[in-house]
Chains A and B, each alone.
Chain A
Amino acid sequence: MSEGTKKFLYVNRKAPYGTIYALESLEVVLIGAAFEQDVQLLFLDDGVFQIVKDQDTKGIENKNFSPTYSALGDYEVTKMYVSKESLEERGLTVDDLMPLTYEDEDDDWAEKDSIILVSKDEIAALMEEQDVVLSF
């Protein structure tokens, strides 16, 4: 990472369609990535619903923005932290989430998982190590 690069954590705590927070967060994530910042996402509480697979919004006539999360790897957003406890509370497992991956340029472009399951303590430490935390 070059000089002037900061560690950004986007904290996503809202379900995807009931409010505009999830979509707005995604827009800002893409902007941050375009400015070559060190961007990381955290999905916590109802935020874990943002990356549930098989979303189909035809019936509610909303834009389905969930495929965008799969494209973030191409913008060098390669760390998507997901709260273990939040998944469990909602009856979900990592298998209910979209497979989010990136190609590692330092490892012959091998495809790797972007999703990292984290505990409450790990989330506390993750927040502390950031330069900037953006909350949605």
Chain B
Amino acid sequence: MLHTVNKSPFEKNSLVSCLEHAAEGSAILLIEDGVYGALNGSAVADKVKGAMGKTTIYALGPDLDARGIAGKVIDGIKVVDYAGFVDLACENDKVQAWL
């Protein structure tokens, strides 16, 4: 299934809770302030890296660009555009939004 996270991991525990509750093979898409979870070298980066492999982590490119962090994303996170967001929503049977 697809998990979306739209809150900053430094303000809420949405991302950490998502990473802890996403089953193997899940897709996790970071959107809006959730894209700060993709920052390399941050206090949550190790937790994100730890979930990669078990899950596939995506980040929405326009939200990275808006926040000036497109060049600072953890290696292995897949950057998608809005069409990619739609594809993920269609490919997965369910969506859980970590608000």
Contacts and interface: CB of A to CB of B under 8 A. Distances in A.
A45 B10 contact: yes
A90 B44 CA distance: 8
A45 B36 CA distance: 12
B61 to A, nearest CB: 7
A18 interface: yes
Contacts, number: 77
B12 to A, nearest CB: 10
A58 B65 contact: yes
Contacts of B45: 91
A91 B33 CA distance: 16
Interface residues of B, number: 26
Given A45-B10, A46-B11, A15 B65 contact: no
Contacts of A45: 10-11
B66 A90 contact: no
B92 to A, nearest CB: 23
Contacts of B39: 90-92
A120 B14 CA distance: 26
B67 A16 contact: yes
Nearest to A48: B10
Nearest to B69: A52
A111 interface: no
Nearest to B6: A18
Contact of B10 (A52, A64, A90): A90
Interface of B: 6-8, 10-11, 32-33, 36, 39-43, 45, 61-63, 65-72, 81
- Nearest 3 A/B pairs, CB to CB: A59-B62, A91-B41, A18-B33
